[in-house]
Amino acid sequence: MNTYQIRFNKSRGQVGRGTVDHVWRVFENGKEYLFKNLDITVPVKSEKDVNGADYNIVCKGYLTIDRDTSTACIGAKNGNKKLDSRSNQETGCPA
């Protein structure tokens, strides 16, 4: 089980920061992902960021990436994934 920090992407649309539709920054073990959508099915809380000026949404769970819809799915268990027809990679939010 991992801890996730989620922030609004204030720099969306800029070079290397996703399109203007990539509004969510999700951090998993120090790695950042950019998403258009979120689907979180575990309890969440808010916390102040280390800089003391911004806030994060924080939760614990497992991340599944739905590449077709650019959705970060964070749930209590890891499984029930679909396959992306283009890349044959696991995708889709767990059922």
User: pLDDT digits over 28-70, tens only?
Assistant: 988 999 999 999 999 999 999 888 888 999 999 999 999 999 9
Domain coordinates in residue numbering, the chain: 2-91
The answer to whether the beta carbons of residues 72 and 65 sit under 8 Å apart is: yes
Asked if pLDDT for residue 84 goes beyond 60, the answer is no
The answer to whether the beta carbons of residues 54 and 68 sit under 8 Å apart is: no
* Residue 83 vs residues 37, 48, 88: alpha-carbon distances, Å: 19, 36, 5
- pTM: predicted TM-score of the whole model, two decimal places: 0.80
The tens digit of pLDDT for each residue in 67-81 reads: 999 999 999 987 545
65 exposure class (CB count in 10 Å sphere: 0-12, 13-18, 19+): buried
Pick the closest to residue 66 from 13, 26, 29 (CA basis): 26
